[in-house]
Amino acid sequence: MRRYDRRVRLLASALSMTAGYVDAVGFMMTGGFFVSFMSGNSTRLAVGLTQNAAYAVMALSLIVAFVVGVSVGAFVGRTTKTRRGSAVLILVSLLLVAAATLAAFGIERPAILMLAMAMGAENTVFAEDGEVRIGLTYMTGTLVKLGKRITAALLGGDLFGWAPYFLLWLGLVAGAALGATAYLHVGPQALWGAAGSMALLALAAAKLPISFASARELPAD
């Protein structure tokens, strides 16, 4: 992530914030399932298989929707090539608009699946050669890199090499707090905020004068 242009890193943090917002809204809509964190849903699937079949079905549905979103996002990215960032974000925006529209009519289950698809697609924005360079909706790998960069700084390495990873994580947490607050005030209609934010980020990505799909990240160590 450190080799990316500063504007691209800021975009990544903003995208992570929007993902946190969406995940918090989805978490509250579903009563405890995730629309972007599939490790958590995988655990819920396993527990549901032993305790509650309905929980298992819900978790599996979200996982499948997320994978479909990744596949569609990857297809859009590969076909648009140098404009992959803005094209994928337009796709994500449309999925979020569809989710918000369905939720407005009380059709919540399909809306939730649309959210999972959108989050899956979002993770292909920074993909290259079939590999995700920056994970935007899950933070385990980011926190691992954060810890390693802190150690490197303490041992005389780059003093602020940890900062981009911290900002990415902070964006997700801040977005989740905003999403939870918005849901408490307006319910599922909070999704319109996410759709609008994503549309603005798609415009911002289109104006970046570089191809952030072609920038390579430094190795984890």
Residue 32, both tokens: 């405890």
What pLDDT is attached to residue 131? 63
H helices, E strands: number in the chain = 8, 2
The CATH classification of domain 6-207, taken from the options 3.40.1620, 1.10.3470, 1.20.1250, 2.60.40: 1.20.1250
Averaged pLDDT for residues 150-166: 91
Highest mean pLDDT, choosing among 74-78, 83-87, 93-97? 93-97
How many other CB atoms are found less than 10 A from the CB of residue 109?
12
In the chain, what is the straight-line distance between the N-terminal and C-terminal CA atoms, in Å?
A: 12
Sequence spans of domains, the chain? 6-207
pLDDT at position 219 over 50: no
162 in Cβ contact with 41 (< 8 Å): no
Predicted confidence band of residue 4 (pLDDT cuts 50, 70, 90): low
How many other CB atoms are found less than 10 A from the CB of residue 212?
21
Predicted confidence band of residue 25 (pLDDT cuts 50, 70, 90): very high
Backbone φ and ψ for 132, nearest 5 degrees, come out as: -80, 120
What pLDDT is attached to residue 110? 96
